[in-house]
Structure 1
Amino acid sequence: MWRKAVLVALLAFGMGFLYQTDPELPARVLNYVSQSLPHLEITASSEPHPQALEETIARAWQSLISAPARRWQRVAVGVNACVDVVVSGVGLLQALALEPGSGRDHEVLHSKEDLKEAFVHYMGKGAAAERFFSDKEVFQRIARAAAEYPGAQVRQNLKGKELYVGGNAALIGQKLASNPQLSVLLCGPVGPKLHEMLDEQIVVPPESLQENDEFHLILEYKSGEQWGPSQAPQANRFILSHDLSNGEMSALETFIASLEEFQPDLVVLSGLHMMEGMGRDLWEERLQEAVVAISEVKNEVPVHLELASMTDQDYMNRILHQVMPIVNSIGLNEQELLFLTQSGGGPHADVTSWNGVPDVGRVSDILLWVLENHGRSSPQSEADLTRIHFHTLAYHIMATVDGHWANQESAVAAGARVASTQACGLQNVDISKVLLKAPLNFYSSFSEPRENLRVDPTRPVTVWHRGNVSFHLTPVLVCKHPLRTVGLGDAISAEGLMFSEITPTSEL
């Protein structure tokens, strides 16, 4: 309590001094302080502290989020699935007798030193990344060290090892299966350990079952965690694997063949990023086959593509030009969005990395560019892409071409809400465990003409329009001490899809 008293005394003294120099200045300062105080996280006392904005937003979401008029009944998800071993990244690297040093990105990891440099590179940015480890024997040694690491997070299987459901498709399928009214088909390399951990409601075609599981190592780090000179600005994770089944998208043909019998009303595709580590010869051929396979999905069934971390600009550019125009919806984060515009020569491609919270105007510019150049923003366009679900730590944006999607206000809010609850490991938002980091005032574009917009906490979805594209933004109540970061993007996209509705006119 004495800290509060000292703070009040200092403010009073300062106000008196300011009044002598400028009688109008104290009012302006008080206005600024009143707007800033809700964002301050006070930890000096154990007494409860009201978080007015966070509580207002959480309550507003409750009344704002409503189910779509027409819900999905059957969703098919593919094609990457695996078993995750989750450990402290710094702890594992120390267990491997690695010393902290400078960071450096690697498209493919060939050694423990490459792993260390890539981990440090992304930890320093607080960014998620995923890389293929080329040396099978070295990867297996790292995997054994991870399995023996005492801090590994656990979910028991028959042998008592430390495992989680992993892979974008499997994670999205798990989240969708939490809706008891939804039938979910999952295609991917499903081994015995993964199969037993999947929700009973998920249908796995017999052709997707394999004798052995694919393992991915999830190296997590906490906000503020330090290793040598590197410090993480926010919690996140680095993923590595030596995964040939997912890397070759071996389940793709099984996935497409299963759709005829399952008859889904929504298809979710992920795993393209896994092919990047297999080399150009493989991904060039398989990407063409993926395009053919996606084109075989019935026109009236929307297809959502979930992106993930990549480093090869040529590969991303191929996805941009060949895959995105034939899907209806995509989900991605701030790293993937920036790499997308860098690869395709879009707006703000000269930005090397986001500095803190990504600028809303820049994000809006890139989303519009994707829909205008590779989507169906023009009625004359033959592309199918009409929806982008963008998520970053502080806020989410849903960008949709008018006339194709409904209930997007609820969808973007539902995605933000699940980001808060799942990161904290809760069923509902606990305002004592979250923090508002989103800008409450922002511009609709980085350049003119642009609107000056604001977030109204009592109805926390801000809407603006650019041509025939509508943008819905909502802040995220960021978990202060997340229990787990892997799979958050998949949960966000799945939740957003569950609350989205494709309009009848867009199905014609």
Structure 2
Amino acid sequence: MTSILTGLLAIESSLKRPLQPPKVAVGYGACTDLLIHATDFLNYTEELVKGVGPEFTVDEVNDRQELLQTFAYYFKNGAAAERIMPNTELFKELIQIAKSRHLNSIQWFLGGNAPLMSTRFHLEGANTTSSCARRNKIAGDEIPEDDIHLILEYKSGDTWGPFVAPRANRYILHSDRNNPHLNSVEHFDAAVRNFQPRLLVISGLQMMDSYKFAHGVREARLLKVQEQISLQSPTTLQHFEMASYVEIELLQLLRQYVLPYVDSLGMNEQELENLRQVLTKGRTTLATDWNPRVATALDQMRDVFQILAQDYYRNSTGLPHRRLLTRIHVHTLAYQALLTVRDSQWERTQIAAAKAALTAHRHVCQTDMINPESALLILDDSFATTAQNKDTASRIQLNPQQPVPCWNETIVVNDQKSLPIEICVAPVLVCRVAKKTAGAGDNISAAALSQQL
């Protein structure tokens, strides 16, 4: 464990920072997070929770039963989730219960993907601007309920009725009326135009998931996002941060309006399998294996990359401003996996993977100093590079002195085109006692990106 930590820190410290801080613009939206321990807040009620099987699905949460059922489903699977509650009165009641009955245990934080990622980029030395033109209040009764996101966190081993959490994670509930409409897009337009960033990050689009828009409104807002990102200079890299999506219609719209125009994607293991299912089968999957084998995740990454590359070469001549995806970052509990196209604008993939792994521990443990005694290694000491052809699969041995293995491959896109890629995998020193999982993905993804600009 100590050797792996030393090796990761050595890779992290090898970054030579540019003389000029890279410019990063991050959109969209912001909120206030109210953090509370899930099993203290929600009372298990057997009568309400029954009937939650493997195929259980609810896109939105309308009443107490649906709240308890959806929480039970994701809790027992250890899967992160974010759901909208159109029932504003019930949502306000939940917020008031948290503030009155759990006053001494709740925590307030600035929330939303854009401010969290922007803050991390700033901490890593970037010059940032974001779409969050709003006040920075993070506590107090004056915050409107529809601006609050309720973060129900739980630790590995927590129990709730008959269920045991296999890992630390969070269930997010909101009744947001502002962020689904991406009200900051127009304000962000002028800021980005004047700023001329090296990197533009698109995040927060999951706020549109399952929200009841008037006919054509969501498509119009996503078209505005497409216009914004498609008009950027070719020298501005563009990254889309995935999130918890359940609505197939929205994912299909993202495939049309966003995915063809970005250079990079970031996601967790659940979001990776969800995206692969959408691209290959036109459907979503709710909760997947919370700790997938490296070979499985790498195969899914290759599938996503290949399909989007095929789309690019099929349509690049007729549709201007489209971009070839050249980077995928998947962050899991046990490891960080990065796939980049060789000789693309993404450099230092190994450093980015190491940085992501260290940031995962630091954020979840809420510490700058990593103590090996506070960590455990879930990643096996060796892993296969693919699960699809076990006869030809290479096996990578984890070397504690050089803990981030990287190797080159070639992905066949079509009969005329193949692309050389580099893959790096970094082990995560998993925090034994999780203090904060909300915002982990945003911090991990931004930290990794900051090393490659």
Same fold per superposition (TM over 0.5): yes
| Closer, same or farther: CA 153–270 of 1 in aligned 2, 3 Å | farther
Q: How does 1:373-388 map to 2 (within 5 A)?
A: 373-375=307-309, 383-388=323-328
Deviations 1:91-119 (A, max 9, x none): 22129999654534311111121111111
Deviations 1:265-290 (A, max 9, x none): 21111011111122364433322222
Aligned with 1:435: secondary structure? strand
Aligned with 1:469: secondary structure? strand
- How far apart, CA to CA, are the structure 1 residues paired with 2:75 and 2:61? 16
RMSD: 2.8
CA contact (8 A) 1:398 1:408 kept: yes
Deviation at 1:145, TM superposition (A): 1.1
What amino acid is the match of 1:411? Answer: A
- How far apart, CA to CA, are the structure 2 residues paired with 1:277 and 1:454? 43
Q: Percent of aligned positions with the same letter in both sequences?
A: 30
What amino acid is the match of 2:84? Answer: F
Unaligned runs of at least 5 residues, structure 1: 1-53, 155-161, 197-209, 502-508
Partner of 1:172: 117
CA contact (8 A) 1:136 1:242 kept: yes
Unaligned runs of at least 5 residues, structure 2: 317-321, 411-419
Q: Does 1:364 align with 2:298?
A: yes
Which has the higher mean CA deviation after the structures are superposed, 322-331 or 229-238?
322-331
Aligned with 1:134: secondary structure? coil
- How far apart, CA to CA, are the structure 1 residues paired with 2:103 and 2:139? 25
Partner of 1:182: 126
CA contact (8 A) 2:274 2:284 kept: no
Q: Does 1:428 align with 2:369?
A: yes
Partner of 2:416: none
Deviation at 1:301, TM superposition (A): 0.7
Partner of 2:250: 315
Partner of 1:64: 11
- How far apart, CA to CA, are the structure 1 residues paired with 2:408 and 2:375? 30
Partner of 2:400: 457
Partner of 2:172: 239
Partner of 2:428: 476
Deviation at 1:217, TM superposition (A): 0.1
Deviations 1:51-74 (A, max 9, x none): xxx111100012112225646422
Partner of 2:92: 140
- How far apart, CA to CA, are the structure 2 residues paired with 1:125 and 1:177? 34
Deviations 1:129-178 (A, max 9, x none): 00111111111111111222427655xxxxxxx41111111111121222
Q: How many residues end up aligned between the 2 structures?
A: 426
- How far apart, CA to CA, are the structure 2 residues paired with 1:140 and 1:217? 10
Q: How does 1:298-377 map to 2 (within 5 A)?
A: 298-345=233-280, 354-355=288-289, 357-375=291-309
- How far apart, CA to CA, are the structure 2 residues paired with 1:346 and 1:246? 29
1 or 2 for the larger relative contact order (CA 8 Å, sep ≥6)?
Answer: 2
Which has the higher mean CA deviation after the structures are superposed, 366-375 or 333-342?
366-375
- How far apart, CA to CA, are the structure 2 residues paired with 1:424 and 1:249? 32
TM-score, reference length from structure 2: 0.87
Q: Does 1:443 align with 2:397?
A: no
Q: Does 1:295 align with 2:295?
A: no
Deviation at 1:428, TM superposition (A): 1.8
Partner of 1:55: 2
- How far apart, CA to CA, are the structure 1 residues paired with 2:206 and 2:23? 25
Deviation at 1:231, TM superposition (A): 1.1
Deviations 1:18-75 (A, max 9, x none): xxxxxxxxxxxxxxxxxxxxxxxxxxxxxxxxxxxx1111000121122256464221
Which has the higher mean CA deviation after the structures are superposed, 313-322 or 83-92?
313-322
Partner of 1:83: 32
CA contact (8 A) 1:306 1:330 kept: yes
- How far apart, CA to CA, are the structure 1 residues paired with 2:264 and 2:41? 37
Deviations 1:217-249 (A, max 9, x none): 000111111111211001100001011111111
What amino acid is the match of 2:8? Answer: W
Partner of 1:399: 339
What amino acid is the match of 1:452? Answer: R
What amino acid is the match of 1:473? Answer: V
Q: How does 1:161-310 map to 2 (within 5 A)?
A: 162-179=107-124, 181-188=125-132, 190-194=134-138, 214-279=147-212, 281=215, 282-310=217-245
